[in-house]
């Protein structure tokens, strides 16, 4: 018996003609066509979905795949592509990566069961985008404080080493103070332009893709009309500071602010 397709859901959105037309040109996570699943009731809600092979997305198989970083990265990129393509035409609630249902009927049931919650959240996020702000310590680009002692050829190797270590620690301490100053500036900018903030874990190990040491990783929900101003001002939050830099990303669909119910208990 050949395994049938499951239904992979990327997001919940408001239906529109533009959204329906856009989905025809988007490929899903396995190259399959994306389609919209409406609820059984008369509603503006739709789920953005595509069929996926059961052999790869049943629970046991999916767990194995998620341990493969290359497979996971490809899945995440395709998932993000569909969400962003959808968000260009409608307010969306992005669902978690690898949200899978047994079929479209189960997706319809989820939309019906959680209709008011989903619709209310969409209304709250309407007209807003997400921007990410990461602060990094970049001690390598910093310079020693003006008071740092110059090399002294009369010192013994042991004392010269300790003096060098103290100078390095001074640079690190100055960079951390600069990071705190930058964080304070960004908070002030957010009070003007953002409506919510979500704190994420700092990026370490294989997740640390940026230069330097990540010390702050936040997402901000910003009215779309304020997005450019927020980006410009946050980008300049480290002006005049040494040993620290900021990375501003987005605007994105509001991944960090989509408070969504867990998938249907019948999802595999």
Q: Determine the pLDDT at residue 248.
A: 92
**Residue 59 shares a structural domain with residue 9:** yes
- For 177, the token pair is 């103070």
Q: Determine the pLDDT at residue 162.
A: 61
What Å distances lie between residue 198 and 5, 111, 168, 220, 228, CA to CA?
Answer: 35, 26, 33, 6, 19
- For 190, the token pair is 């957010």
**Residue 158 predicted with pLDDT over 80:** no
Q: Determine the pLDDT at residue 142.
A: 43
Whether residue 265 lies inside any domain: the answer is no
For residues 67-78, give the mean pLDDT.
Answer: 87
CA angle 183, 187, 189 (to 5 degrees): 115
pTM: 0.73
**Residue 46 shares a structural domain with residue 148:** no
**Residue 110 shares a structural domain with residue 172:** no
For residues 226-244, give the mean pLDDT.
Answer: 89
Cis peptide before 251, with omega less than 30 degrees from 0?
yes
Domain boundary (82, 107, 126) is at 126
Whether residue 243 lies inside any domain: the answer is yes
Q: Determine the pLDDT at residue 9.
A: 94
Whether residue 264 lies inside any domain: the answer is no
Expressed as residue numbers, the domain containing 53 is: 5-126
**Stated length of the chain:** 268
User: How many domains would you assign to the chain?
Assistant: 2
**Residue 54 shares a structural domain with residue 151:** no
Q: pLDDT of 211-221, one tens digit each?
A: 678 888 999 99
CATH code of the domain covering residue 206 = 3.30.70
Q: Are 90 and 13 in contact (CB under 8 A)?
A: yes
């Amino acid at each position: 018996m050949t395994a049938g397709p499951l239904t992979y859901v990327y997001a919940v959105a408001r239906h529109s003609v533009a959204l329906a037309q856009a989905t025809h040109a988007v490929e899903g996570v396995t190259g399959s066509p994306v389609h919209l699943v409406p609820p059984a009731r008369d509603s503006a809600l739709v789920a953005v979905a595509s069929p996926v092979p059961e052999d790869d997305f049943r629970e046991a198989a999916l767990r194995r795949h998620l341990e493969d970083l290359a497979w996971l990265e490809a899945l995440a990129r395709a998932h993000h592509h569909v969400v962003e393509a959808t968000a260009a035409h409608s307010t969306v609630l992005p669902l978690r990566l690898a949200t899978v249902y047994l079929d479209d009927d189960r997706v319809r049931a989820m939309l019906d069961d959680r209709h008011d919650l989903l619709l209310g959240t969409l209304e709250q996020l309407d007209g807003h985008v997400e921007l990410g702000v990461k602060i990094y310590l970049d001690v390598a680009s910093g310079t020693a404080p003006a008071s740092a002692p110059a090399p002294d050829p009369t010192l013994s190797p042991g004392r010269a080493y300790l003096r060098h270590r103290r100078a390095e620690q001074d640079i690190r301490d100055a960079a951390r103070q600069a990071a705190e100053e930058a964080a304070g500036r960004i908070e002030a900018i957010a009070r003007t332009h953002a409506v919510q903030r979500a704190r994420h874990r700092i990026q370490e190990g294989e997740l640390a893709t940026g230069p330097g040491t990540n010390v702050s990783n936040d997402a901000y929900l910003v009215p779309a009309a304020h997005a450019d101003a927020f980006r410009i001002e946050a980008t300049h939050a480290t002006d005049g500071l040494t040993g620290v830099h900021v990375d501003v990303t987005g605007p994105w669909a509001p991944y960090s602010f989509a408070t969504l119910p867990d998938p249907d208990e019948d999802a595999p």
